[in-house]
Structure formats: structure tokens, C-alpha cells
């Protein structure tokens, strides 16, 4: 029997196993074994997976987000490209080497392999199993052997430390520059530039893991009248008040963006249309507690949409803008979807 036949037999046998039986077997394996049910989003990881990274077994969330969160940011794009190629059957196997963040904050090298053992009638993945194996010792040994082959090891190490110090200082400056470039100077929330980076990634993630993604487009009603009657200083103060009120409703993972002028966008990952409408209603009610600006009681209009399968970010944004326009036409201080 050739290797391909053995793999096919393994996939057949594993797909026939009861989940509880398979997971019991996986509990006995020392390597980091994982089992992803793509239809439910549930990911089982055996104790060996947690131990390898220094965590207490079964102490993290059983979702793909747990895996994503431990991948080194520099390795993430390459890992996801390999993963997507395999899921979409552009590649015959999934195998990757990358760094994972351990419980103590350090990174270790691991080898990751996975096999799809079941697909849905439409060809999408239904279930996939795989294994994470630490190759950190091998990587570190290779680095040590390289250093021993260099006659000027002490000088190189000293220069490396100095370079690391300089790089750290540069990284701090780069991070600060990036923060300033992605932040609205007045309201201190994300700006349009940040949205143009974050929304494509959110759409890709929603498509990859078949999770809902919703947007709320909102703007302040009659904001131009506030500026015209009381001046831009009062208008700016009103914007800051509104942002503070909206931020009180924001959840971990959400992103509030100043789209321009008095218009804002909120990205809501893993959120259905119904839940996004509830979020918009919470924000709308919260604005009633704000102090008026002269004769104006601050209100907002809202357009709420959920991303459709295979929908582009441009179409998604356009639908959100149209929903916002309908709320304006409906009399303002309302929510349309």
C-alpha cells in the first residue's frame, strides 16, 4: 500500500470515529493534537498541545481564535496562505513551521501538519485534524552550531546586542508613528487609514472561518447646524462627547472608526445582524444622556448591515452607507438595516 492510500485510509477511519472516542485517544498522545469541527467552530486540543506552550490543559477557548492569537505576527500571513491553499484544495497538504507564543510570552518554533477528514457536500471543510510538534530544540541547536563556526563569535554577539537595543528603540518609535498614523487626532479613535487596513482583514477572517461580520454606519444628526450656529469648537466638543458615549458600548474586538466629519463606522466581528442592531440601539439610547449643545439634543442615525457570503468590502461599505441614508430619510435618530 502506497503512502497516499495510507493517508486516505487514515482519513476514512478517523472520520468514522465518534468524537468522544477520538478525543479520548488524543488525550493519551504527547504531541499537540487538534481537531477542528469547521461547521460548529469548535476546536478540541489535547493536553499535549497546552503543555507544549506552558498552559494548563484545556484552559483556553476552544475556537480558532486561540490558534490565531498565539501565532507570531510576522509568521501569520504565510501560515494563513498555506492553510487557505490546503482548504481550497490548491495544495495537496498542509504543513508549516512557525513561531508560537508560549504562556510566559516567549516564542517557540513548532511544526504544524493537518488533514481534512471530512468535507461538506459543497466541498467546504467539515472537519480537520492535525498536530503541533515543537521543533524549538532543533532550531536552537542549529543556531548554536552556526555560532560555533564563526571565529569572531564574541564580537558578533556584542554587535548583535547593540543592534537589538537599537532595533528595540526603533520599534518603539515605529509603533508610536503607526499609532499616530492610525488615530484620529480629535477623538482619539481609529481613523480612515486604520479602517482601510482593518476591514479587509475582518472580511477575510469572516470568509475563512464562516463567521458573521457586521458594520454599523452612524453619523450625528444636524451636525452642520451645530457648527453653523455655535462654531466649530462646540462641534468638536460634541464629537468628543459622542465618541465617549459610543466607546462605552464597545466590546473587546470591536473597532470604532471616524470615517470623516461626523460619520463613524463600527466593525463588529463574529456578530450577527440582530446583535448589531441591538448594539446600535444601545448606542442610540446612551446618547440621550448627553448634555445638549445649545438648543440641540445630540442624536445619531444608524445603518446596520451583515456581510454576505463572498461579499467584497466595497459592497459591504456601500450597503452600510445606503442603510444610513435610509435612516436619515426616515426622520433621523433611527436604525435601518
Kind of pairing, strands 335-336 and 42-45?
Answer: unpaired
Element (H, E) at 117: strand 107-119
Q: In Å, how far are 135, 136, 138 from 149, measured between CA atoms?
A: 22, 20, 17
Q: What is the pLDDT of residue 275?
A: 97
Tell me which CATH code domain 19-136 carries: 3.30.450.20
Asked if 262 is an active-site residue, the reply is yes
The three grid cell numbers given for residue 252, joined into one nine-digit string: 473587546
3-state SS assignment for residue 303: strand
Q: Where are the domains of the chain?
A: 19-136, 192-330
Coil/strand/helix, residue 309: coil
Per the listing, cell 470515529 goes with 17
Placement of cell 484545556 in the chain: 58
Which residues have C-beta within 8 Å of that of residue 295, sequence separation ≥ 6?
A: 229
Task: Please determine, looking at this structure, whether the domain spanning 192-330 carries the CATH number 3.30.70.270.
Answer: yes
Distance CA 44, CA 27 (A): 10
Q: For the chain, how many residues are written?
A: 337
Please name the residues in contact with 58: beta carbons below 8 A apart, sequence gap of 6 or more. 45, 47, 50
Give the separation between CA 193 and CA 179, rounded to whole angstroms.
11
DSSP alpha helices (H): ranges in the chain?
Answer: 3-16, 19-27, 47-52, 64-70, 76-87, 136-148, 153-181, 192-209, 223-230, 232-247, 273-286, 313-329
Q: What does the mean pLDDT of the chain come to?
A: 88
Among 31, 100, 18, 117, smallest CA distance to 66 is for 100
The pLDDT assigned to 28 comes to: 44
Predicted local distance difference test score (pLDDT) of residue 329? 94
What is the structure's pLDDT at 94?
Answer: 96
Burial tier of 326 (Cβ tally within 10 Å: 0-12, 13-18, 19+): middle
Catalytic residue among 184, 219, 221, 262: 262
- Enter the DSSP assignment of 258: E
Cβ-proximal residues to 149 (8 Å cutoff; 6+ apart), any chain: none
Low-confidence stretches of the chain (pLDDT beneath 70): 1-30, 150-152, 177
Between strands 255-260 and 32-37, the pairing is unpaired
Amino acid at each position: 500500500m502506497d503512502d497516499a492510500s495510507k493517508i486516505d485510509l487514515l482519513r476514512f477511519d478517523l472520520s468514522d470515529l465518534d468524537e468522544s472516542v477520538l478525543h479520548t485517544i488524543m488525550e493519551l498522545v504527547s504531541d499537540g493534537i487538534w481537531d477542528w469541527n469547521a461547521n460548529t467552530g469548535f476546536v478540541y486540543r489535547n493536553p499535549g498541545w497546552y503543555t507544549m506552550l506552558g498552559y494548563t490543559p484545556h484552559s483556553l477557548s476552544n475556537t480558532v481564535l486561540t490558534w490565531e492569537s498565539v501565532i507570531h505576527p510576522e509568521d501569520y500571513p504565510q501560515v494563513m496562505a498555506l492553510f487557505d491553499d490546503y482548504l481550497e484544495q490548491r495544495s495537496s497538504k498542509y504543513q508549516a513551521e512557525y513561531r508560537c507564543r508560549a504562556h510566559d510570552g516567549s516564542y517557540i518554533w513548532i511544526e504544524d501538519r493537518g488533514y481534512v477528514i471530512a468535507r461538506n457536500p459543497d466541498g467546504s471543510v467539515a472537519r480537520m485534524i492535525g498536530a503541533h510538534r515543537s521543533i524549538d530544540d532543533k532550531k536552537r541547536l542549529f543556531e548554536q552550531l552556526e555560532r560555533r563556526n564563526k571565529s569572531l563569535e564574541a564580537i558578533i554577539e556584542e554587535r548583535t546586542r547593540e543592534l537589538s537595543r537599537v532595533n528595540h528603540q526603533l520599534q518603539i518609535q515605529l509603533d508610536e508613528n503607526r499609532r499616530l498614523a492610525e488615530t484620529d487626532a480629535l477623538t482619539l479613535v481609529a481613523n480612515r487609514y486604520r479602517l482601510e487596513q482593518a476591514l479587509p482583514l475582518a472580511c477575510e477572517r469572516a470568509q475563512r472561518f464562516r463567521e458573521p461580520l457586521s458594520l454599523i454606519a452612524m453619523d450625528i444628526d444636524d451636525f452642520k447646524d451645530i457648527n453653523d450656529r455655535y462654531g466649530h469648537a462646540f462641534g468638536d466638543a460634541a464629537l468628543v462627547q459622542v465618541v465617549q458615549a459610543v466607546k462605552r458600548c464597545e466590546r473587546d474586538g470591536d473597532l470604532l472608526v471616524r470615517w470623516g466629519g461626523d460619520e463613524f463606522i463600527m466593525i463588529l466581528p463574529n456578530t450577527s445582524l440582530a446583535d448589531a442592531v441591538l448594539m446600535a440601539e444601545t448606542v442610540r439610547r446612551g446618547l440621550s444622556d448627553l448634555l445638549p449643545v445649545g438648543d440641540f439634543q445630540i442624536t445619531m442615525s444608524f445603518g446596520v448591515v451583515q456581510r454576505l457570503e463572498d461579499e467584497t468590502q466595497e459592497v459591504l461599505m456601500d450597503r452600510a452607507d445606503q442603510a444610513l441614508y435610509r435612516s436619515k430619510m426616515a426622520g433621523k435618530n433611527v436604525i435601518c438595516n
